[in-house]
Amino acid sequence: MPGAAAGDGERTIVVLLGPPGAGKGTQGEQLAAALGIPKISTGDVLRAAVRDGTALGREAKAFMERGDLVPDPVILGIMKDALSQPSAARGAILDGVVRTVPQAEGLQTALSQLGRVTTVVLVFAIDDDVLVRRISERTVCEACQTPYTGHMPGSACPKCGGRLVRRADDEPDAVRQRLKVYHAQTAPVITWYATHGVRVVPIDAVGTRSEVQARVLRAFSR
Ligand code: AMP
């Protein structure tokens, strides 16, 4: 299998970077299965908190609906909690977890306290206009949260029969804001990693799911 997760006592942390709609979630699921480590998504944790109406959800909701970032201290709390779970003992795929330089610094500090860690950063590259089109075709199942492309809002989830809806932050104004935020606040994280001795691998995110998956797996066979 290409690049299995690290051996005893060593963690593999894969940071997925890239704009909204670049395919981080889908590719992250497949990579998690291939490497045998969990995928952690702060977006999923926050959406569940909003649905459940918890204190975290109430704090995050307005930021998310506007397409803005949730404050760093909130994200660092979620990140540390997720990494301390037994399921993450051999590492994790971090999907959208690191979106600002302070978050990258906070993650590095947290990881330095966890023993031997190999960090790899995958950067999904894709043009904004392709993303806007992709996101406009995206729906998600209200019940099981599976994302789909090209299935109409209101239709039934092929997996569980739940209702497919559009995410509030996939509406055009929020998408434009999320892209703006990505370029201003998340793109500098790539340079931060490259200048801190972390392996950064660009992934061409244009193509079918399996074409992109093959590129991702190739990054682990080197
Ligand atoms: P995602 O599903 O990863 O696109 O995340 C959805 C929304 O959750 C983002 O637009 C942000 O409002 C919030 N969010 C998720 N992860 C982070 C993060 N690492 N830093 C700040 N905000 C985040």
Can you tell me the distance from the alpha carbon of 3 to that of 35, in angstroms, rounded to the nearest whole number? Answer: 7
pLDDT tens-digit series, residues 14-60: 999 999 989 999 999 999 999 999 999 999 999 999 999 999 999 99
- Going by C-alpha positions, the residue among 4, 27, 15 that lies closest to residue 211 is 27
Q: How many CB atoms lie within 10 A of CB 172?
A: 10
Catalytic residue among 11, 90, 99, 134: 99
For position 171, what pLDDT does the model report?
85
Taking the CA of residue 46 as reference, the ligand 1 atom at the shortest distance is 8
Closest CA to 45 of 97, 84, 91: 97
* Ligand 1 centre distance from Cα of residue 203 (Å): 21
The rounded distance, in Å, linking the Cα atoms of 219 and 119 is: 13
- Give CA–CA dist 136/166, Å, rounded: 9
Neighbour tally for 215: CB within 10 Å: 17
Q: Is 47 a catalytic residue?
A: no
- Catalytic site includes residue 176: no
Q: Please report, for residues 66, 92, 98, 131, 168, the alpha-carbon distance to residue 138 in angstroms, rounded to integers and kept in the order given.
A: 18, 26, 23, 10, 11
- The CATH architecture of the domain made up of 10-221 is 3-Layer(aba) Sandwich (3.40)
Per-residue confidence (pLDDT) for residue 6, from 0 to 100: 54
Active-site residue, selected from the candidate residues 11, 24, 39, 47 = 24
Pocket lining: 50 vs ligand 1, CB cutoff 6 Å: no
Q: Decide whether any atom of ligand 1 lies within 6 Å of the 97 Cβ.
A: yes
- 53-91 residue pLDDT tens: 999 999 999 999 988 999 999 999 999 999 999 999 999
Is pTM beyond 0.85? Reply is yes
Rounded alpha-carbon distances, angstroms, from residue 61 to 48, 52, 140, 153: 11, 11, 18, 22
Q: What is the pLDDT of residue 132?
A: 87
Q: Are residues 11 and 91 in contact, defined by beta-carbon separation less than 8 angstroms?
A: yes
Cα–Cα distances in angstroms (integers) from residue 110 to residues 74, 78, 104, 106, 117, in the given order: 15, 12, 10, 6, 11
Domain residue spans of the chain: 10-221
Mean pLDDT taken over the chain: 92
pLDDT value of residue 147: 86
